């Protein structure tokens, strides 16, 4: 039983499959538990709600280790603790691969829900949280020696700590939970979490709101560690920032007169038109789509 003082319940669900959303040789059970909970809790706060609880459906191979399962459930619990939510229950079955389904619930606390359809011409586009970190970490893991559980080596030993931060970001995202309800209080007109890439996810806002979103690439900061990872993997780091998923940053639109607090960065504006544009051009919509080759 989960309290719903507001009388309305925000509900979201996500499905994670071994080999598609995580690899057992790259992530621990604890990492996977944290990630599975985080990607659902971030959807709740992206509507301006406070998470209250999750329920978990779990498919496990017959030879799954009890210790690994303990680590997984510890990950669920610790991620929920960050937002004052709890693991309310769930179900378990046998399967050939590890399958995790998480449903998260949230309470709006009397606030209006922030959807994807409220952006208006003249609004500013702002982001909070990390962008491109998880994609860079995934690229480093993928570029490592065959069968390894770590990234490729940097040119200088001192850079290894920074690269580990990127790899950890893939394994365990850090959504800016408190800033979802904060954005609702500030009057956000539209909001979502960036799970499949900023361009693709903002495309959902543009479509739902019937407007264009114009982004300024100069407004995005690419940290030195990401530039090093890009050098090692032969990638443009801005590609990770604009198209990389799994960081679960928040992207929102606000009326132009709203004074945004520290932690939010204005990266563009809403205008008449359609789609998402970067420097006046409409890029191929980067990001993850399960049914696009």
Q: What is the DSSP letter of 78?
A: H
Q: Check the annotation: does 116 bind a ligand.
A: yes
- The reply to whether 253 sits in an annotated binding site is no
240 marked ligand binding residue:
no
**216 marked as part of a ligand binding site:** no
Rounded Cα gap, residues 77 and 136, in angstroms = 27
Per the CB < 8 A criterion, the answer to whether 44 and 80 are in contact is no
- DSSP code of 171? H
Is 25 annotated to bind ligand?
A: no
Q: Is 21 marked as a binding-site residue? A: yes
CA gap 161, 131 in Å, rounded: 19
Residue 136 burial (CB count, 10 A): 33
90 annotated ligand binder? yes
180 annotated among ligand-binding-site residues:
no
Q: Is 274 annotated as a binding residue?
A: no
Residue 12 labeled ligand binder:
yes
Apex 203 CA angle, 252 and 120, nearest 5: 50
For residue 10, what are the β-bridge partners? 106
**CA angle (128 as vertex; 196, 246 as ends), nearest 5:** 25
Q: How far apart are CA 188 and CA 199, in angstroms?
A: 19
Residue positions forming the annotated binding site for substrate? 21, 246, 288
Residue positions forming the annotated binding site for ATP? 90-91, 116, 195
Residue positions forming the annotated binding site? 6, 12-14, 21, 43, 90-91, 116, 193, 195-196, 246, 288
Residue positions forming the annotated binding site for Mg(2+)? 6, 12-14, 43, 91, 193, 196
């Amino acid at each position: 039983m989960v309290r719903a003082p507001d009388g309305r319940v925000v509900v979201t669900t996500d499905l994670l499959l071994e080999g598609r959303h995580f690899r057992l040789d790259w992530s621990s059970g604890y990492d996977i538990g944290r990630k599975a909970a985080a990607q659902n809790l971030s959807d709740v706060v992206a509507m301006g709600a406070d998470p209250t609880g999750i329920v978990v459906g779990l498919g496990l191979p017959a030879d799954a280790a009890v210790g690994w399962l303990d680590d997984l459930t510890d990950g669920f619990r610790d991620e929920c603790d960050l937002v004052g939510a709890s693991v309310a229950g769930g179900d378990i079955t046998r399967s050939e691969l590890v399958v995790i389904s998480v449903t998260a619930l949230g309470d709006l606390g009397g606030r209006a829900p922030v959807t994807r359809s409220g952006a208006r011409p003249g609004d500013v586009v702002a982001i909070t949280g990390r962008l491109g970190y998880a994609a860079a970490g995934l690229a480093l893991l993928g570029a490592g020696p065959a069968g390894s559980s770590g990234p490729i080596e940097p040119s200088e030993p001192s850079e290894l700590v920074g690269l580990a931060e990127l790899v950890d970001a893939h394994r365990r995202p850090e959504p800016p939970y408190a800033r979802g309800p904060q954005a609702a209080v500030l009057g956000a007109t539209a909001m979502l979490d960036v799970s499949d890439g900023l361009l693709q996810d903002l495309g959902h806002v543009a479509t739902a709101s019937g407007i264009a979103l114009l982004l300024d690439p100069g407004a995005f900061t690419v940290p030195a560690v990401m530039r090093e990872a890009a050098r090692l993997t032969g990638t443009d780091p801005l590609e990770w920032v604009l198209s990389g998923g799994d960081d679960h940053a928040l992207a929102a639109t606000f009326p132009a007169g709203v004074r945004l607090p520290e932690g939010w960065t204005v990266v563009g504006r809403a205008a008449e038109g359609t789609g998402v544009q970067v420097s006046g051009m409409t890029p191929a919509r980067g990001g993850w789509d399960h049914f696009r080759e």
